[in-house]
Amino acid sequence: MDPEVKLNHIAGNFLKLRGNTLITPISKGLINDTYLIQNEHIKTKYVLQKINQNVFREPEKVMKNLVRIVDHLAKKPDPRYKLLKLEKTIVSGTYYLDEQQDYWRVFRYLDHTDTIDKVTDPIQAREAARAYGNFIKRLNRLNPGEVFETIKNFHNYRDRIVKLEKAAAENSSQRKKNCLNELDFIGNRIKYIEEYYSLPLPKRIIHSDTKIDNILFDDQLEKAVCVIDLDIAMPGSLLYDYGDMVRSFTNRVKEDEGDMSKIGINQEVFYNLTQGFIEETAILMKNAETNNLLLGAKIVILIQAIRNLTDYLFGDVYYKINYETHNLVRARNQITLLSCIEKDEKIYENIINSIVEKNT
């Protein structure tokens, strides 16, 4: 079937389409295939998305989680944020399964919004962190046992170490020789992961992918309007969502910058994101959480370095590369970022503590 005809047919399973329909790719996401649907007779625009089954082996679980989460959020809306709305199919299903066994779903398009790839203003960090904190807070009453793990072992950090050890043990090539220092650095920080598992951390439903581009901002890129991309929202610790913001918002350069001397933490961004997150979550955080936020950042950065290095040793099967040492450079980048945090640990702890004090 002609791709355009096919997309129209799929959209027609969700919406009563008459006249002209324009379906155009939104190429911002990396995982799923996303399209914008516009019809001449319908005022609202829609987002059509095909679930990537290479990443999500159990799409039914992804959809069940999504419905549970959006329904729960809709029960108690927060006037500051818009709700993500899922459209039912004409036969009242939540997804459409095509002949190729692909899963499709449709969201209401939130107009007058935009996303950003990199934090350019500390206020954006505060806004995004507040929205992610609000997401955790509003899901607090939804039982984490009712939400599936949509990627197996995603939050099993010991398993990440096992995979790296396996990759290193099976590899005797030049690649392993190239990363002996990095393996050593990581080996000396397994203690963070052990410390994490020794804490009495509550299981919560967390977003698990708190990058800046999973926030829809208003047209002016000032206010966070909606948290999107809920496919790996699953049970985990709030430290992870906080840590992934520190990891992805504060780095002065891109995650694959090869000049390690350029890597550094933007402290103003750190301050603002911590402020936004704690403002929303202070009310529910336990001591084990408030006292260990920085450990969350260290863990998430360490895990990212482990994932990049594992992929480098396994021959670049997961992350796309543009040159041979791309994954090694990414791992070094994260290692350098972690060293920056360690070097000024006291400063970051003080920032966190002062904000916690003000909010409790």
Give the binding site for ligand ATP (CB under 6 A). Answer: 26, 28-32, 34, 47, 84, 107, 109-110, 113, 115, 213-214, 216, 228-229, 231
Q: Is 229 in the site for Mg ion (CB under 5 A)?
A: yes
Instruction: Name, in order, each residue with C-beta under 8 angstroms of 278's C-beta and a sequence gap of 6 or more.
Output: 133, 285, 290, 352, 355, 356, 359
Residue number with CB closer to Mg ion (204 or 207) = 207
Q: Which is nearer to Mg ion, 31 or 97 (CB)?
A: 31
DSSP string, 184-245: HHHHTTHHHHHHHHHS-PPPEEE-S---GGGEEEETTS-SEEEE---TT-EEE-HHHHHHHH
Nearer CB in complex with ligand ATP: 212/306: 212
Q: Which residue in 337, 308, 178 sits closest to 243, CA to CA?
A: 337
- Shortest Å distance, C-beta 97 to ligand ATP: 19
Q: Which of 134, 214, 237, 272 binds Mg ion (CB under 5 A)?
A: 214
Nearer to Mg ion, 46 or 192 (CB): 46
- From Mg ion, ligand ATP, none, interface partner of 89 (C-beta below 5 to 8 A by class): none
The residue whose Cβ lies closest to ligand ATP is 29
Binding partner at 115 among Mg ion, ligand ATP, none, C-beta below 5 to 8 Å by kind: ligand ATP
Q: Which amino acid is at 34?
A: T
Based on the shown chain and the rule CB under 5 A, indicate whether residue 244 belongs to the binding site for Mg ion. Answer: no
Residues in the interface with Mg ion (CB under 5 A) total 3
Q: Determine how many CB atoms are found less than 10 A away from the CB of residue 343.
A: 10
Helix (H/G/I), strand (E/B), else coil: 273: helix
> What are the distances in angstroms from CA 67 to CA 20, 87, 160, 208, 237?
30, 10, 29, 17, 21
Rounded least distance, CB 235 to Mg ion, Å: 20
Which residue, among 330, 287, 282, 345, has the nearest Cα to 129 in the 3D structure?
282
Q: Closest distance between ligand ATP and the C-beta of residue 47, in Å? A: 4
In 3-state terms the chain splits into helix, strand, coil percentages (rounded to 5) of 50, 10, 40
Would you say 21 or 214 has its CB closer to Mg ion?
Answer: 214
What gap in Å lies between CA 331 and CA 301, rounded to an integer?
A: 9
What DSSP element (H or E) covers 283? none
The distance of closest approach from Cβ of residue 303 to ligand ATP in the complex, given in angstroms and rounded to an integer, is: 17
Compare residues 227 and 335 and give the one whose CB is closer to Mg ion: 227
Q: Is 134 an interacting residue with respect to Mg ion (CB under 5 A)?
A: no
In angstroms, the Cα distances linking 354 to 183, 275, 351 are 35, 10, 5
Binding mask 25-64 for Mg ion (x = CB under 5 A): ----x-----------------------------------
> Residue 356 CB, nearest distance to ligand ATP (Å)?
30
* Nearest one of 155, 148, 250 to 193, comparing CA atoms: 155
- C-beta of 151 vs 356, nearer to ligand ATP: 151
- Token pair listed for 182: 């990095």
Instruction: Using CB positions, name the residue nearest to Mg ion.
Output: 229
Pick one of ligand ATP, Mg ion, none as the site partner of residue 35 (Cβ within 5 to 8 A by kind). Answer: none
Minimal distance, residue 211 CB to ligand ATP, in Å: 6
Point out which residues bind Mg ion (CB under 5 A).
29, 214, 229
